């Protein structure tokens, strides 16, 4: 008698026969759909740096030279300003478009991590690397708030992928690194090292061509600073000064310590332990293919430490590139067994160890990660922005602003939001009370007198106080107390508006 195979076995064999590339395309399509759904489900708005990129881009769109000399202004990023100029074409919707660009960049990071892991260590490691990126809620949170760092990481990851595909690939890699260098100066070092790598066997003409590509980003950045401010090194000096003012600088030993503490914050402890185990395993399994991702990871960590040691800001986002570059090595620890001969004792032992690491990571994630907290954070970010827009659109508030156009806010955090909502080019009509207080401490009273003489003042209420009002060194709770002779003209859940016109 003939025994027919069960349908389940036939389906399983058919699934196994599907090519890895097909599964990758299916996974990318599912991820894109999920990203679009998330984009509309959580309508967040850009963060501080991205809003200023929008404002400066809008200035250029209106043929105004942007002003980088703003109170506690962020570092200008030429590529972000160019994208902000494009987003500004769509009016108030440009803010949401900026966020969409960051979410699309996150999708590119996931796809690039899969591609890198697959090229170096096989499809199993590639899938695990992609899943590790997808499960980093710290990175997803930054993407949902329109942080520029996500696009920078995407460019670095794909530059690494292109180099792995073909050694000394040259121009395409330089172009991606140049784009990354227009978002963060860290990529300048990567471009310089890559130029040395490619020039080793190149002729003189090719060396000069590659040198021009490697120098493109710093030359453009310096040129923009020179044209706008008259000081080619303005970004470098202003960033260092602001870092010192906000007490974000640390000594060399503290910077080294922050590599681990910030790494745990971004990747979590289980992933860092997997990375430490996966690094030697990756070198042992694929000593030639591991060179490029290993060099990228080492350079990103080295640049972060070097920048922090010379006085740049030391914040967790600046380690994001290195944290993402570490994930393929953790993926090796979890899935590198697939590169070994089936049935071998080492393979079985490795699977047991990977399962234990995965279980530990799942348990710690279940006890520390809060999806409701993430949803609340994103909801607050949306509500604070929309609440400010409703406050400034209130008829009585608009009437007061027409009578005295000076608008005061507790500190610098809400200034770009207000400028974007009011569609104003004149930044001197929107000021921070914390700046006035700092000026008084230096013997200057002009700004304080302007505010007292006649202005409209916004005061965050409730949870917005600790997100938008008292967030940095120098923020004083007294800036949350309405001034004498100011009368309340508007109140909502998150904001109160007072006027003295």
Could you list the residue range(s) of the whole structural domain that residue 451 is in? Answer: 374-499
Q: Which of 367, 399, 429 is the last residue of a domain?
A: 367
> CA-to-CA distance for 148 and 151, rounded, in angstroms?
6
Handedness of CA 444, 447, 449, 452 (dihedral sign): negative
Last residue of a domain, one of 367, 389, 406: 367
Instruction: With respect to residue 5, please indicate whether it lies within any of the assigned structural domains.
Output: no
Phi-psi sector, 146: left (phi>0), alpha (psi -120 to 50), beta: left
Does 357 share its domain with 491? Answer: no
Pair 357, 333: CB distance under 8 Å: yes
Q: Is residue 3 part of a domain?
A: no
Task: Let me know if residue 6 belongs to a domain.
Answer: no
Q: How many domains does the chain have?
A: 2
Residue 356 has pLDDT above 70, yes or no: yes
pLDDT tops 60 at residue 432: yes
Mean pLDDT, rounded, for 377-381 = 78
Question: For position 113, what pLDDT does the model report?
Answer: 96
Percent of the chain with pLDDT over 90: 64
Task: Please state, in angstroms and rounded to a whole number, the distance separating the CA atoms of residues 358 and 366.
Answer: 12
With a cut of 50, say whether residue 4 has pLDDT above it. no
Three-state DSSP state, 313: coil
Assess whether 329 and 379 both reside in one domain: no
Instruction: Judge whether 180 lies within some domain.
Output: yes
- Span 333-353, pLDDT tens digits: 999 999 998 888 999 999 999
pLDDT band per the 50, 70, 90 thresholds, residue 17: low
Question: Of 311, 338, 367, which one is at a domain's C-terminal end?
Answer: 367
Say yes or no to pLDDT of 472 above 70. Answer: yes
Residue 378 to residue 203: CA distance in whole angstroms? 52
Over 70: is that where the pLDDT of 246 sits?
A: no
Residue 13 lies in a domain: no
What number of other Cβ atoms are within 10 A of residue 446's Cβ?
10
Mean pLDDT of the chain, nearest integer: 89
For residues 201 and 175, state if they share a domain. Answer: yes
Residues 424 and 338 in one domain: no
Contact criterion met (CB below 8 Å) for 101 and 143: no
Q: Residue 457 pLDDT more than 70?
A: yes
- Note whether 356 and 380 are same-domain residues: no
**pLDDT tens digit sequence for 263-283:** 999 999 999 999 999 999 999
Q: Which residue has the higher pLDDT, 301 or 311?
A: 301
Q: CB neighbours of 191 closer than 8 A, spacing ≥ 6?
A: 174, 177, 178, 181, 213, 214, 215, 217
Higher pLDDT, 464 or 319: 319
**pLDDT (0 to 100) of residue 202:** 84
Greatest mean pLDDT among 64-73, 150-159, 307-316, 474-483: 150-159
Q: Does residue 173 register a pLDDT over 80?
A: yes
Q: What is the mean pLDDT of residues 66-81?
A: 91
**DSSP reduced 3-state for 408:** strand
What CA–CA distance (Å, rounded) separates 476 from 34?
Answer: 42
> Quick one: 292 and 386 in the same domain?
no
């Amino acid at each position: 008698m003939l025994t027919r195979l069960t349908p389940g076995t036939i389906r399983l064999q058919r699934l196994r026969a599907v090519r890895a590339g097909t599964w990758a395309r299916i996974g990318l399509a599912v991820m894109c759909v999920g990203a679009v759904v998330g984009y509309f489900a959580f309508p967040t708005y850009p963060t501080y740096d991205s809003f200023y990129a929008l404002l400066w881009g809008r200035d250029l769109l209106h043929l105004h030279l942007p002003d980088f000399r703003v109170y506690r202004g962020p570092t200008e990023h030429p590529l972000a300003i160019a994208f902000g100029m494009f987003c500004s074409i769509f009016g108030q919707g440009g803010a949401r478009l900026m966020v969409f660009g960051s979410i699309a960049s996150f999708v590119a990071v996931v796809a690039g991590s899969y591609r890198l892991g697959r090229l170096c260590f096989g499809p199993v490691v590639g899938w695990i690397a992609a899943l590790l990126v997808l499960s980093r809620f710290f990175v997803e949170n930054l993407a949902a708030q329109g942080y520029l760092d996500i696009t920078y990481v995407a460019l670095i990851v794909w530059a690494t992928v292109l180099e792995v595909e073909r050694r000394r690939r040259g121009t395409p890699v330089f172009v991606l690194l140049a784009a990354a260098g227009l978002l963060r100066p860290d990529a300048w070092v990567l471009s310089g090292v890559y130029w040395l790598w490619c020039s080793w066997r190149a002729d003189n003409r090719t060396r000069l061509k590659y040198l021009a590509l490697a120098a493109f980003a710093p030359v453009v950045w310096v040129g923009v600073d020179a044209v706008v401010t008259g000081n080619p090194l303005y970004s470098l000096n202003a960033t260092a000064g602001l870092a010192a003012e906000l007490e974000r600088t640390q000594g060399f030993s503290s910077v080294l310590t922050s590599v681990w503490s910030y790494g745990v914050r971004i990747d979590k402890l289980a992933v860092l332990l997997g990375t430490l185990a996966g690094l030697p395993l990756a070198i042992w399994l694929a000593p030639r293919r591991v060179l490029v991702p290993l060099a990228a990871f080492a350079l990103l960590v080295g640049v972060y430490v070097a920048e922090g040691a010379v006085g740049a800001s030391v914040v967790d986002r600046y380690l994001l590139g290195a944290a993402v570059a570490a994930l393929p090595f953790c993926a090796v620890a979890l899935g590198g067994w697939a590169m070994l001969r089936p049935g071998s004792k080492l393979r079985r032992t490795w699977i047991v160890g990977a399962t234990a690491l995965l279980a530990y990571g799942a348990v710690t994630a279940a006890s520390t990660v809060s999806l409701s907290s993430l949803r609340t954070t994103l909801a607050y970010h949306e509500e604070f922005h929309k609440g400010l827009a409703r406050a400034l659109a209130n008829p009585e508030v608009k009437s007061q602003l027409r009578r005295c156009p000076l608008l005061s806010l507790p500190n610098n955090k809400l200034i770009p939001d207000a400028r974007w909502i009011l569609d104003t080019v004149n930044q001197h009509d929107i000021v921070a009370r914390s700046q006035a207080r700092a000026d008084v401490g230096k013997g200057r009273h002009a700004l304080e007198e302007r505010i007292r003489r006649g202005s409209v003042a916004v005061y965050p209420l409730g949870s917005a106080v600790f997100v938008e009002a008292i967030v940095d060194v120098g923020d004083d709770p007294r800036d949350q107390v309405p001034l004498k002779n100011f009368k309340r003209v508007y109140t909502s859940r998150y904001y109160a508006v007072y006027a003295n016109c």
